[in-house]
Structure 1
Amino acid sequence: MPGHSPDTTGLALDNQQTRARAWFEELRDRICAAFATIEREAGSDASFDYADWQREDPEGQPGGGGVRGVMKGEVFEKVGVNVSTVGGAFNPDFARSINGAEDDPSFLATGISLVAHMANPHVPAVHMNMRFLSTTKRWFGGGADLNPPIPYDEDTASFHARLRAACSPYGPDVYERYSKWAEEYFFIPHRGVHRGVGGIFYDHLETGSDALFERNFRFTRDVGEAFLDIYPAIVRRRMDHSWDDEDRARMLAWRGRYAEFNLIYDRGTLFGLKTGGNIDAILMSLPPEARWD
């Protein structure tokens, strides 16, 4: 149901929150349409299955909700594209870890989260998320990173080049700073390896004035457009590449590392669990099949 919005019963959104929510949902619709088109090109009739979920606060009052979208096809073995708009109050311990929530735990968060696991080991998996979070402060955060079981320099270079182009209007060092942040964040300490070949990661782009909101909202939209532009192109580049059992075994072992990161270190997973999110939506990032040898 592209165009479907989460139930935000119990929440009062202002103009900034409403605009951010609407754009995240529009981006969801366009990404899902682009991915479904790739499935059609592969001769598959796979489509996204959408499921609503609602959130209740600890007192049982409505606190918004989300829409979980999942497609399982010939090219996309499993891809999830979720949108949510939730609000309420953080528990006191968690509030101390959130920007602007130390003294007042009230919050409202709206955003999009995407993870794609591919059937062909030569097609890179990918992760993308964006959010607008309001406490006593307000900020945008997000990013995108490429996660190939079998890396290709051409894919890595084109992915980073497109993100660099999206960042370049916002300062000469923006891409370098956010790329380094992604490199540091998407690292699995107990394995001593990176989760993938990087991308960009940013957080706490605060919006203390109307001008700052417009600038950082525009930057977030530009990053979303860059993702929608480059990732389908990379998928089409690799989706018909032949593969064998050895390639798939390599992919399944890599997926095990991916799952370890998401369950142990990922901030989005922790945020969803700490704010009463839908478990299926939170854990849609896990691969459909993995192995640990």
Structure 2
Amino acid sequence: MITKEEIAAEYQKIQDEICAGLEQLDGKCLFVEEHWHRDGGGGGRTRVIENGNVLEKGGVNFSAVDGLLPETIKNALKVDQNDFFATGVSIVIHPNHPLIPIIHMNIRYFEMPSANGKEPVRWFGGGIDLTPHYVFEDDARFFHQYLKSVCDSFGADFYTRFKKWADDYFFIKHRNETRGVGGIFYDRITATDEHTWDDIFEFSKAVGRSFLPIYTEIVNRNRNSQYTEAQQEWQYQRRSRYAEFNLVYDAGTKFGLETNGRIESILMSLPPQARWIYNYQPQPGSEEEKTLGLLKKGINWA
């Protein structure tokens, strides 16, 4: 059976691969790395890139933390063990170009050893989702078709299940709109008769390694397109929705804060600049109105 050390080591490799690929994609800036240690156990490597040719702000973070779970998290996870181990890679990229989307990816593993006669608790989670400032249907289809091909190689129902999970998870309830065009999301996935722990780990790695080819393709499709000041204003408006979701609903943000994680790493997902315009209404028939009309659950992009 795979060990937590093996999982953490593979996740670090994925972090290295993605950072190298994004530096090449941007062509100007390099990641700045900071090692950090968590009070209570473990730590991580935070890597941030800023003010590039395309990447205005991005973070590719690795963490492997352990210690005692706070009562609030124990109650949320419905477990009564105290010791935990969690490792993962978390990515958010905010481009400087309104026609290039925000992208988020996370792969993670959680473990609680056996205690007081209880069975060990372990699971994988993760996902990848795309948040365009303007929804281009060809890009959304490419994104989902790529994810479907990854999912289909591991389970016939993976894409359908995890796509719906993403639609439901990345939903801004107080706005009644999805954060973007979705993607896949899964949590607490364990071994079954059909899928061993090794199978699930291989799927986790495949999701992680889908990030770079997907985003490279979408960036290169749009990076040379001209845009207007009005389109950049719309970008800042859409970034505010992204911030609202992460601060109000995102489970990873809540887990990091509740377990005394590193604040700068947890909040690196926030955009460098966003705007909240009072009661903004797009012009009828505009590309902005079209985008809002596509921020709905259940669209069959694949």
Structure 2 length-normalised TM:
0.86
The secondary structure found in structure 2 opposite 1:163 is helix
Does residue 1:33 correspond to 2:20, yes or no? yes
How many angstroms does 1:22 deviate by?
1.0
Which deviations, in whole Å up to 9, do the C-alpha atoms of 1:124-143 show, x marking residues without a partner? 11000000100231111000
What is the alpha-carbon distance in structure 2 between the residues aligned to residue 93 and residue 262 of structure 1? 19
The secondary structure found in structure 1 opposite 2:66 is strand
What is the alpha-carbon distance in structure 2 between the residues aligned to residue 240 and residue 173 of structure 1? 37
Aligned to 1:128: 105
What is the alpha-carbon distance in structure 1 between the residues aligned to residue 88 and residue 192 of structure 2? 19
What is the alpha-carbon distance in structure 2 between the residues aligned to residue 48 and residue 269 of structure 1? 22
After TM superposition, the structure 1 = structure 2 runs for residues 34-183 of structure 1, keeping only pairs within 5 Å, are 34-40=21-27, 44=28, 46-57=29-40, 63-72=41-50, 73-98=52-77, 102-135=79-112, 136-183=120-167
Aligned to 2:257: 273
What is the alpha-carbon distance in structure 1 between the residues aligned to residue 6 and residue 68 of structure 2? 22
What is the alpha-carbon distance in structure 1 between the residues aligned to residue 2 and residue 189 of structure 2? 18
Letter in 2 for 1:160: H
Letter in 2 for 1:145: D
What is the alpha-carbon distance in structure 2 between the residues aligned to residue 71 and residue 224 of structure 1? 19
The secondary structure found in structure 2 opposite 1:56 is coil
Structure having greater relative contact order (Cα 8 Å, sep ≥ 6) = 2
Letter in 1 for 2:86: A
What is the alpha-carbon distance in structure 1 between the residues aligned to residue 72 and residue 46 of structure 2? 28
What is the alpha-carbon distance in structure 2 between the residues aligned to residue 70 and residue 269 of structure 1? 17
How many angstroms does 1:207 deviate by?
4.0
Asked if the contact 1:252–1:290 (Cα under 8 Å) also holds between the matched residues in 2, the reply is yes
Asked if the contact 2:56–2:96 (Cα under 8 Å) also holds between the matched residues in 1, the reply is yes
Structure 2, unmatched stretches of 5+, are 113-119, 278-302
Which deviations, in whole Å up to 9, do the C-alpha atoms of 1:76-110 show, x marking residues without a partner? 000100000000111123211125xx221211001
Which deviations, in whole Å up to 9, do the C-alpha atoms of 1:28-54 show, x marking residues without a partner? 1111111100122xxx2x110011111
The secondary structure found in structure 1 opposite 2:245 is helix
Which deviations, in whole Å up to 9, do the C-alpha atoms of 1:54-83 show, x marking residues without a partner? 1112xxxxx000111000112000010000
After TM superposition, the structure 1 = structure 2 runs for residues 214-293 of structure 1, keeping only pairs within 5 Å, are 214-293=198-277
Asked if the contact 2:46–2:60 (Cα under 8 Å) also holds between the matched residues in 1, the reply is yes
What is the alpha-carbon distance in structure 2 between the residues aligned to residue 15 and residue 188 of structure 1? 36
Structure 1 length-normalised TM:
0.89
Asked if the contact 2:72–2:258 (Cα under 8 Å) also holds between the matched residues in 1, the reply is no
Asked if the contact 2:103–2:131 (Cα under 8 Å) also holds between the matched residues in 1, the reply is yes
Report which stretch shifted further, 176-185 or 220-229: 220-229
1:185 to 132, 150, 169: 169
Asked if the contact 1:168–1:175 (Cα under 8 Å) also holds between the matched residues in 2, the reply is yes
Identity %: 42
- Runs of 4+ deviating beyond 4 Å: none
Asked if the contact 2:12–2:62 (Cα under 8 Å) also holds between the matched residues in 1, the reply is yes
Aligned to 2:185: 201
Aligned to 1:10: none
The secondary structure found in structure 1 opposite 2:43 is strand
Asked if the contact 2:22–2:212 (Cα under 8 Å) also holds between the matched residues in 1, the reply is no
The secondary structure found in structure 1 opposite 2:196 is helix
How many angstroms does 1:169 deviate by?
2.1
Structure 1, unmatched stretches of 5+, are 1-13, 58-62
Asked if the contact 1:139–1:205 (Cα under 8 Å) also holds between the matched residues in 2, the reply is yes
How many angstroms does 1:208 deviate by?
7.7
Asked if the contact 2:90–2:105 (Cα under 8 Å) also holds between the matched residues in 1, the reply is yes
How many angstroms does 1:15 deviate by?
5.3
What is the alpha-carbon distance in structure 2 between the residues aligned to residue 234 and residue 146 of structure 1? 10
How many angstroms does 1:151 deviate by?
1.1
How many angstroms does 1:172 deviate by?
2.1
